Amino acid sequence: MQDKRTSPRARRLVVRSLATASVAACVAVLTPAAGAGATETPRPYSETYRPQFHFSPAQNWMNDPNGPIWYKGRYHLFFQYNPSGNTWGNMSWGHATSPDLVHWTQQPLAIPQDDTEMVFSGAVVFDKTNSSGLGTHGNPPLVAVYTSLHKSDSVQAQALAYSTDGGTTWKKYAGNPVIDIGSRDFRDPKVFWNAKTRSWTMAVALSAEHKVRFYSSPDLKHWTELSEFGPAGATGGAWECPDLFPLAVDGDPSRVKWVLVVNINPGGPQGASAAQYFVGDFDGKTFTPDDSSTYTPPAGEVIADFEDGTYRSWTTTGTAFGSAPAAGTLPGQQLVTGYQGSGLANSFIDFDASTGSLTSPEFTIDKPYLNFLIGGGNHPISQPDPTAVNLVVNGKVVRTTTGQDGEALDWTHWNVADLAGQKAQIQIVDDNTSGWGHINADQFVLADAPALGSVQRAHWMDYGADFYAATSVNDEPRGRRVVIGWMNSWQYGQDIPTSPWRSADTFPRELALRTVHGKPQLVQQPVQELNILRTGITRTATTVLPDGTDVPLAANGSLLDITATLRAGTAKDFGIKVHTGAGQETRIGYDTATQEIYVDRTRSGASSLSPAFAGVQRAPLTLDSKGRLDLRIVVDTSSVEVYADDGRVVLTDQIFPDPSSNGVSAYAEGGTAHLDSLRAQRLRSAWR
């Protein structure tokens, strides 16, 4: 399949200081024309679902944040932008500035596409010594290092643009590209000055290979390859938008670790785009993770491994699987990885045009888990034309799993303890002839313990559905590590019900490393500048939550910063609901049986935009010894950002409730819980 970054996958209006005529002109540009029958055009940044303290462009499509940097008293934020429409395309760099990470002013287009290239993601650095020669010693430049997508052949190369007027205007470097390896999957450079090596360091993604390559340069123009990292962690989708930075462990400057962020699409914890990270060491050339990149699944009884060049007694129908196992990648297919040995079941025959099935002989389930490797298309049996692996007992499908729209095979498992002693068959089905209309499978093993997939083993910055392309601010003035992500998803991002803009960024977060169970782990919190928006109106609550209750709280509002501590008691499920009313609610809950925190947006409001939107996003989280759940919930008109256990686990989700659905409540189910404390700060809009 074509990569989703080369096809659709994938401000603040300063009106208070402008003359009336200027305001009218600005509004005319930034608001859509009224259609037939329209009664009134909303004023900018007051439209339904418009985020009130998350950056969003005045109009048109936005995706990845690019090159955030502090420069001469202002934060500069660039972003992937379509200047001509409200869906992906014409990729250029938009630009916004802020004094405080809260109040943003959208600036003129920074780096536009042209007839030869689209301008993909990258970084911005301040070349204060003018090492590049693109400015002068008296006026050193800002330099953007970006991925140039060549329109003629879809090759992705790294290129430069520079500004000598503080980021207002930009020129493309005449010597572009500065790195070209002839690849169509080589993108998203992050660049920073490494004081120890006295050179520029670049981390850039080899997306299809699930690698990050590191380069060094004395002048931003001439680059030397240093090393590669990967494949490692989650590899179920394209690797994109890497970032690399140091952080002190537990705030101790003598204990510094390096964090490598790798965004992945698809293949995140919710099956779509997400950001994973690795903690380790970087010596100026090579990144070495603390965790081993190898994984050995539990041993057991092999049902099938497709190693002898035949399907043995498996039964085939149709032509999708051919007459024998594939030896790896088939003609025309993206690189297939993750299978074991020399063979696998792979239905990418005739470029997804063929259909068929592959069914095992009967076997007896005599262990509690069936582990196997799976990849390929995401077409579950609940939808027409599935690509799936099924477990069949007595002629009925009792377990099923599909791929994640990626060629990498990954471990998964079924708990089959309740089927012990029964006869079963494995059925691999490909009934799909559209995009990703194939399935890959290998190594079916009955075992006493579950095999954990790379998604379960990986470290995730955010477990929600709407956090991607995370990148950190260069030259942050307080020495903080501040990160901004794209608050949308490639599963449905082009269909969210917003106009005249589409997409917002997450609220900026400060990162730290905290020792958890003996290992350093990322923790996150909203930057303290969020306090600027506090109105002074605070609501507090403390109450017992009997089984089956849903207790309305006085902390209503559409813009809130909530901190709460709850205790499980005997409840099976308990938590906080926001944006309640008119039959709508967004539930932030805790499931004591699975030991997971979750965000349930199935009743959050407008959710029919995509089958992938309405759902529940879950993250593993163990309560403390007293059964307490500590939460911070940042609520905007169309999003929730949930920080649990002091930011150790984070979930970010978009929601689209009615404006009148602004209630807050606490609930318990299956027993009694306790709301020990809740403090809700009402926030004001950053746009007014």
Query: Which tens digits make up the pLDDT trace of 391-412?
Result: 999 999 999 999 988 898 999 9
pLDDT score for 589: 99
Q: Mean pLDDT over residues 617-641, rounded? A: 97
149: Cβ contacts below 8 Å, ≥ 6 apart: 6, 91, 117, 118, 119, 120, 155, 156
| Strand arrangement of the beta sheet that strand 628-636 belongs to | 534-545, 673-683, 560-567, 628-636, 639-644, 649-654
Q: Mean pLDDT over residues 291-305, rounded? A: 93
Kindly calculate the radius of gyration of the chain based on its CA atoms and give it in whole angstroms: 26
pTM to 2 decimal places: 0.87
584: Cβ contacts below 8 Å, ≥ 6 apart: 603, 604, 605, 657, 658, 661
Q: Is the pLDDT of residue 282 over 70?
A: yes
Q: Mean pLDDT over residues 377-395, rounded? A: 97
Same domain, 224 and 321: no
Same domain, 132 and 270: yes
Q: Mean pLDDT over residues 505-517, rounded? A: 98
Same domain, 561 and 486: no
Dist. CA 166–CA 62, nearest whole Å: 23
pLDDT band at 39 (very low <50, low <70, confident <90, very high): low
In terms of phi and psi (left: phi > 0; alpha: psi -120 to 50; beta: otherwise), the region of 137 is: alpha
Q: Is the pLDDT of residue 3 over 90?
A: no
Q: Mean pLDDT over residues 610-634, rounded? A: 96
Domain total of the chain: 3
What kind and span of H or E run contains 454? helix 454-457
Domain limits at 190? 20-294+459-497+506-511
Dist. CA 512–CA 625, nearest whole Å: 24
Residue 162 belongs to a domain: yes
Going by their DSSP bridges, the two strands 315-318 and 396-402 should be labelled as unpaired
Same domain, 97 and 159: yes
pLDDT score for 5: 40
Same domain, 195 and 209: yes
Same domain, 610 and 558: yes
632: Cβ contacts below 8 Å, ≥ 6 apart: 525, 526, 561, 562, 563, 564, 642, 643, 644, 647
User: What CATH number does the domain containing 361 carry?
Assistant: 2.60.120.200
pLDDT band at 35 (very low <50, low <70, confident <90, very high): very low
Which of 3, 64, 188, 243 does the annotation list as catalytic?
Answer: 64
Q: What is the pLDDT of residues 436-448, one digit of tens each?
A: 999 999 999 999 9
Residue 148 belongs to a domain: yes
Same domain, 78 and 26: yes
Q: Is the pLDDT of residue 466 over 80?
A: yes
Q: Mean pLDDT over residues 169-176, rounded? A: 99
Q: Is the pLDDT of residue 241 over 90?
A: yes
Residue 566 belongs to a domain: yes
pLDDT score for 27: 30
pLDDT score for 236: 81
User: What CATH number does the domain containing 571 carry?
Assistant: 2.60.120.560
For 437, the token pair is: 């209309």
Residue 6: how many CB atoms within 10 A of its CB?
A: 19
Q: Mean pLDDT over residues 283-295, rounded? A: 92
Q: What is the pLDDT of residues 132-154, one digit of tens each?
A: 999 999 999 999 999 999 999 99
Distances (CA, A) of 40 to 16, 28, 685: 22, 13, 21
Same domain, 45 and 158: yes
Same domain, 433 and 582: no
pLDDT score for 76: 99
In this structure, are residues 613 and 492 in contact, taking their beta carbons and an 8 Å threshold?
A: yes
Q: What is the pLDDT of residues 70-127, one digit of tens each?
A: 999 999 999 999 999 999 999 999 999 999 999 999 999 999 999 999 999 999 999 9
Percentage, residues of the chain above pLDDT 90: 90
319: Cβ contacts below 8 Å, ≥ 6 apart: 349, 350, 354, 355, 356
Residue 526 belongs to a domain: no
Residue 525 belongs to a domain: no
Q: Mean pLDDT over residues 192-220, rounded? A: 98
Amino acid at position 638, single letter: S
User: What CATH number does the domain containing 230 carry?
Assistant: 2.115.10.20
Q: Is the pLDDT of residue 600 over 90?
A: yes
Q: Is the pLDDT of residue 33 over 80?
A: no
Same domain, 182 and 128: yes
pLDDT band at 272 (very low <50, low <70, confident <90, very high): very high
In this structure, are residues 83 and 73 in contact, taking their beta carbons and an 8 Å threshold?
A: no
**Cis ω before 177 (30° cut-off from 0):** yes
Dist. CA 231–CA 185, nearest whole Å: 15
Q: Mean pLDDT over residues 651-666, rounded? A: 98
Same domain, 474 and 325: no
pLDDT band at 29 (very low <50, low <70, confident <90, very high): very low
Query: Torsion angle of alpha carbons 405, 408, 413, 419, nearest 10°?
Result: 70
Amino acid at position 39, single letter: T
Q: Mean pLDDT over residues 657-672, rounded? A: 98
Residue 12 belongs to a domain: no
Collapse the DSSP code of 24 into the 3-class scheme (helix H, G, I; strand E, B; otherwise coil) and give the result. Answer: helix
SS (H, E, C) 108-176: EEEECCCCCEEEEEEEEEECCCCCCCCCCCCCCCEEEEEEEEECCCCCEEEEEEEECCCCCCCEECCCC
pLDDT score for 8: 36
Q: Is the pLDDT of residue 293 over 80?
A: no
Q: Mean pLDDT over residues 664-688, rounded? A: 97
Q: Mean pLDDT over residues 518-536, rounded? A: 98
Residue 63 belongs to a domain: yes
- Eight-state DSSP code of residue 506: P
Dist. CA 342–CA 328, nearest whole Å: 7
- Residue 396 has φ and ψ, to the nearest 5°, of -115, 145
Same domain, 364 and 275: no
Q: Is the pLDDT of residue 22 over 60?
A: no
Residue 543 belongs to a domain: yes
For 164, the token pair is: 């000598």
Collapse the DSSP code of 247 into the 3-class scheme (helix H, G, I; strand E, B; otherwise coil) and give the result. Answer: strand
Q: What is the pLDDT of residues 532-565, one digit of tens each?
A: 999 988 999 999 999 999 999 999 999 999 999 9
227 CB-contact burial (10 Å; exposed 0-12 / middle 13-18 / buried 19+): middle
64 is catalytic: yes
